[in-house]
């Protein structure tokens, strides 16, 4: 009985230590997520206006033949940039992103296209290397607090591959797989095609009003050459900011659940320890009473 009590108390101490760690991780994520949301909101107007400018260039030019806006006749190679986290303790955050990337990879394979993997985040890098999937480029160390320079490095590598011929290792399409921040409780894995630009014709008024009227000099192709690299870097940077906020929200939620589970387990183990201690005390009292009765009977027998 005493041995069982020692085991239960050791488990209680271990679970309390784990609860302290998960509680600390929850508080750290809670303190950082507000700043991550603020950074994402601050970057949104620039990304929106840049997307509007590119849309105006493409929408008001009927004879554009720029390679970044022209659909390829057949897709032989597709680049996929996957944004994952550098650290763990964030629940199914990375699993959801990697699952979405796996679906895209399978879709490309079914269409006869080779997927070229670009991965940001140590978790995604480790996942791909464990499965012996070839990686064209990797980046890490900034998932929770990305900078625009990090997005520019990724955009530069992707654009170099897009501009190269597929026979020389180039790609026909560029996809981005990341996590969209919906709310503190909801984060959604999404797949976006960055290049070539997807042009959709819609009837009725454009959301947000009519496109601004620009005059392009010297030509639309030159303007697109200047705008599109910034557009791609801006899209990647905003996706990184949303992914950072999503990562922190997922970590906060996972650590809160872990802390609650640890507290429930401590409560159950404490009851178990109390029951074991009570049984041990009852056994000791029974032994004392039994010994006292035996001694009294021995004394009574000796008097006779």
**68 is written with which tokens?**
């970044």
Across the 304 residues of the chain, what is the mean pLDDT of every consecutive 10-residue run? Answer: 78 92 92 90 88 74 69 90 94 95 95 95 96 95 93 94 89 95 91 81 54 67 81 94 95 94 93 83 78 73 60
Task: Give the domains, in start order, of the chain with CATH numbers.
Answer: 62-198+222-250 (3.40.1380.10)
DSSP one-letter code for 175: E
pLDDT of residue 47: 86
Task: Quote the pTM value.
Answer: 0.84
Q: In whole angstroms, what is the distance from residue 157 CA to residue 121 CA?
A: 16
pLDDT of residue 276: 80
Any idea how long the chain is?
Answer: 304
Query: If you count DSSP H runs as helices and E runs as strands, how many of each does the chain have, helices first?
Result: 5, 5
Q: Where are any strands of DSSP class E within the chain?
A: 77-83, 114-120, 135-139, 173-181, 187-195
pLDDT of residue 9: 86
**How would you write the chain as a 3-class SS string?**
CHHHHHHHHHHHHHHHHHHHHHHHHHHHHHHHHHHHHHHHHHHHHHHHHHHHHHHHHHHCCCCCCCCCCCCCCCCCEEEEEEECCCCCCCCCHHHHHHHHHHHHHHHHHHCCCEEEEEEECHHHHHHHHHCCCCEEEEECCCCCCCCHHHHHHHHHHHHHHHHCCHHHCCCCEEEEEEEEECCCCCEEEEEEEEECCCCCCCCCCCCCCCCCCCCCCCCHHHHHHHHHHHHHHHHHHHHHHHHHHHHHHHHHHHHHHHHHHHHHHHHHHHHHHHHHHHHHHHHHHHHHHHHHHHHHHHHHHHHC
């Amino acid at each position: 009985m005493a041995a069982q009590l020692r085991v239960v108390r050791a488990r209680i101490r271990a679970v309390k230590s784990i609860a302290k760690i998960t509680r600390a991780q929850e508080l750290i994520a809670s303190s950082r997520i507000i700043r991550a949301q603020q950074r994402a909101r601050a970057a949104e107007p620039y990304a929106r206006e840049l997307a509007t400018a590119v849309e105006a260039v493409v929408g008001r030019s009927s004879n554009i033949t720029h390679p970044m806006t022209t659909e390829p006749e057949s897709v032989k190679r597709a680049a996929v940039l996957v944004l994952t986290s550098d650290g763990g303790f964030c629940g199914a955050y990375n699993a959801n992103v990697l699952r979405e990337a796996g679906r895209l990879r399978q879709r490309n394979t079914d269409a006869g296209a080779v997927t070229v993997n670009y991965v940001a985040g140590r978790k995604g890098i480790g996942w791909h290397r464990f499965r012996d999937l070839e990686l064209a480029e990797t980046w890490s160390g900034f998932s929770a607090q990305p900078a625009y320079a990090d997005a520019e490095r990724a955009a530069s590598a992707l654009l170099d591959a897009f501009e190269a011929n597929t026979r020389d290792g180039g790609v026909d399409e560029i996809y981005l797989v990341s996590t969209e921040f919906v709310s503190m409780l909801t984060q959604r894995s999404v797949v976006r095609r960055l290049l070539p630009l997807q042009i959709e014709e819609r009837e009725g008024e454009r959301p947000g009003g009519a496109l601004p009227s620009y005059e392009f000099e010297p030509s639309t192709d030159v303007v697109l050459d200047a705008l599109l690299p910034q557009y791609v870097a801006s899209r990647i940077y905003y996706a990184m900011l949303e992914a950072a906020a999503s990562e922190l929200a997922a970590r906060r939620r996972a650590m809160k659940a872990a802390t609650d589970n640890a507290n429930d387990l401590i409560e159950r183990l404490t009851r178990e320890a109390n029951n074991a201690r009570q049984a041990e005390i009852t056994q000791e009292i029974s032994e004392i009473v039994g010994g006292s009765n035996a001694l009294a009977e021995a004394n009574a027998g000796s008097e006779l």
